[in-house]
């Protein structure tokens, strides 16, 4: 698994993909938070807090993570190297996990520079350092678990077609549905609430700074489910 993971990370940074993903994530968030006027602009909000960043990031990641994962297995299919990969003395589970964790690490690297936002907001507070650290740590924890769930979905959809665009669109749709779909459906019926089945409810819960094991188990279960589906799909190849 380690060899596959290293190969994935090296391939990300041997091409413009890795740098492009990191740059896009930082530029998009930076423009909405600091430049464009609107609900997400920190200066317009008048409060020294990062809540708008954590509201925006799940939507940005919803597109960027599928852009990273769409090539995981679809590219292997297109190049005809999937059969060769599966014949190597590495278990199928380790191949999948290697590609999965390679993508997760790349996205986490993209999140690291956003810690500068924490320093900036802390210095802008009145008094300086007046930042809700518990909520901030909780929100970053929520983003981490959201990343592991989104990535598992993206890796799975990359097995569905050798066309990367199809894999990308499928991943965006599934991530959107799992994040917001259940909350949207719950508004259609007042008699039965199903938003707890969606990622947004659990992300919001973790982002409040209270780590509930039910929320963590939910994200881990989603990631495990789609990794398992990926293994099952590849066994049928």
Q: In a 3-state reduction of DSSP, which class is residue 15?
A: coil
pLDDT of residue 61: 94
Cite the DSSP H helix spans in 33-91.
42-45, 51-69, 74-79, 82-86
C-alpha 10, offset from chain centre: 20
pLDDT of residue 14: 82
CA-angle at 199, arms to 196 and 204, nearest 5°? 85
Over the chain (237 residues), the average pLDDT of each successive run of 10 is: 83 82 89 82 72 90 93 84 77 91 93 88 67 83 95 96 93 95 75 78 86 91 96 87
pLDDT of residue 184: 77
Q: In a 3-state reduction of DSSP, which class is residue 153?
A: helix
What are the domain boundaries of the chain?
Answer: 1-236
pLDDT of residue 189: 64
Distance separating alpha carbons of residues 42 and 235, to the nearest angstrom? 48
Beta carbons of 155 and 72 less than 8 angstroms apart: yes
CA distances from 202 to 4, 45, 121, 150, 163 (A): 31, 25, 25, 14, 32
pLDDT of residue 39: 79
pLDDT of residue 145: 95
pLDDT of residue 60: 93
- Closest alpha carbon to 177 in 163, 197, 155: 197
């Amino acid at each position: 698994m380690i060899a596959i993971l290293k190969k994935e990370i090296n391939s990300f940074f041997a091409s413009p993909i890795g740098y492009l993903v990191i740059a896009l994530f930082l530029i998009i968030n930076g423009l909405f938070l600091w430049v464009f006027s609107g609900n997400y602009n920190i200066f317009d909000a008048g409060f020294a807090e990062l809540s708008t960043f954590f509201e925006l990031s799940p939507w940005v990641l919803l597109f960027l993570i599928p852009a990273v994962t769409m090539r995981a297995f679809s590219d292997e299919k297109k190049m005809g190297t999937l059969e060769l990969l599966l014949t190597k003395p590495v278990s199928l589970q380790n191949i999948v996990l290697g590609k999965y964790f390679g993508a997760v690490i790349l996205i986490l690297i993209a999140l690291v520079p956003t810690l500068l936002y924490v320093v900036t907001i802390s210095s802008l507070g009145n008094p300086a350092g007046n930042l809700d650290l518990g909520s901030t740590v909780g929100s970053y924890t929520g983003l981490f678990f959201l990343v592991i769930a989104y990535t598992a979905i993206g890796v799975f959809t990359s097995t569905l077609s050798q066309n990367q665009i199809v894999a990308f669109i499928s991943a965006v749709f599934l991530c959107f549905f799992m994040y917001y779909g259940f909350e949207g459906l719950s508004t259609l019926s007042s008699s039965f609430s199903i938003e707890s089945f969606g990622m947004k409810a659990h992300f919001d819960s973790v982002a409040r700074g209270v780590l509930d094991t039910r929320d963590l188990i939910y994200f881990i279960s989603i990631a495990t489910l789609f990794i398992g589906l990926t293994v099952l799909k590849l066994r049928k190849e």
